[in-house]
Every structure is written in C-alpha cells, then in structure tokens.
Amino acid sequence: MEFLDEDLQQYAEEHTSPESELLHKVNRQTHLNVLKPRMLSGHLQGRLLAMFSQMIRPRQILEVGTYTGYSAICLAEGLQPGGTLHTIDKNEELEERVKGYFAEAGLADSIRLHIGNALEIIPTLDATFDLVFLDADKINYANYYDLVFDKVAPGGYIIADNVLWSGKVLPKYRKKLDEDTAAVIDFNKKLHEDGRVENILLPVRDGLLLARKL
C-alpha cells in the first residue's frame, strides 16, 4: 500500500539527502539480484533511520532482520566511536554479499553479522542496547520485543518496521485476517499498551513504530 501518491513520494525523496554511492549500489543490486526487493528499507526510510541513529548516538545497536544490509549501514552512521551493531538474519545465502557491503562501507569491525534463529541468538548477546530495529518475520515480533526489552538501556529506543502491513491492519484494506496480519495487529496493541514505553506510529513507507523505554 502506498500512503502517498507517486508524485508526492518522488517529491519527498527529491527533498531528502541522497543515498551514498554504496547505498545506491546495494539498492540497485538488491532489486536486480535478490528475491523480494521490497524488503529493502530504501532511500527515504534509510535516511530516516540514519538520522534517528545520529540523534541517539548509540554505542550498541541490535537489528533483527539484516536482508542485504542496507538498513544496518544506515543505522551504523550514528554509532559512537568503538560502538557495535549486531545484526541477525537466518538467510545464509546472503551472508557473503552482506559482509562484502559492510567491508566496502568500512564497517567490517563495527558490524557483527549473526546467521541463525534470532529467538536463539538474542539471549546469547551480552550487551545493553541503545537502539533496536525489528524488521524480520512478523509472527515473532512480540517474541523479539520480549527478548530484547530487558537488554535495552533506560531511554533507549525500539523501532519496528512494517507495522501498517500494507494497510491490512485495517479491515477495509484486507480480504481476510491472515496469520501475519494478526501478528502485526497484536504486536501494535501490545506495544501501545505497554506502560514501560512511550510510543509513536509513523505512516512512513509501510509504517514505523517507535518506542522509548522509560
């Protein structure tokens, strides 16, 4: 679902700082060579994530759902010197491609790519995170949230992508309530009713839900 008409979307991107050459390369190569390129954060959302990270200045970032590494590179722009970004993905077929992009960005020592099941990996991470970005399977969003919450520093941020789910969070935009849609709706409700955070849902791209831990 597109929330702005095509001309307004283009206008927004034209008045947003451009992608770096590397991010443009990741964007283009993903669309040419990788399945489901819509999963890529892309120009507008990528610049927003980078700006959030630059404002927060995190020392430790956790990303659940690496895909081809675009959002990780954006989030890493705000890392403090000596900081670390942990990113988790189950798709080992993309590992070498992603590591190549991280190396090209000069981030090989700053980003740690974990391949495997995030539900098993998150509990093993010995870190306190200032920023968490959830962008993996929607069925487990609530589980990821529960697993990471105690690892987030007070005042830290959790950002979840795809929380409007192509508009299907509203009955008028869906034909049936499938499992993924139900999971997104339940997650949005769970986070909104969590008294441990304050939150805002932004209708950017497919929806970003931001929560600040109190």
Architecture of domain 6-213: 3-Layer(aba) Sandwich (3.40)
Q: Which residue ranges make up each domain of the chain?
A: 6-213
Compute the distance between CA of residue 102 and CA of residue 25 in angstroms, rounded to an integer.
12
Model's pTM, two decimal places?
0.96
pLDDT 10s digits, 58-82: 999 999 999 999 999 999 999 999 9
Q: What is the DSSP string of 46-113?
A: HHHHHHHHHHH--SEEEEE--TTSHHHHHHHTTPPTT-EEEEEES-GGGHHHHHHHHHHTT-TTTEEE
pLDDT 10s digits, 116-171: 999 999 999 999 999 999 999 999 999 999 999 999 999 999 999 999 999 999 99
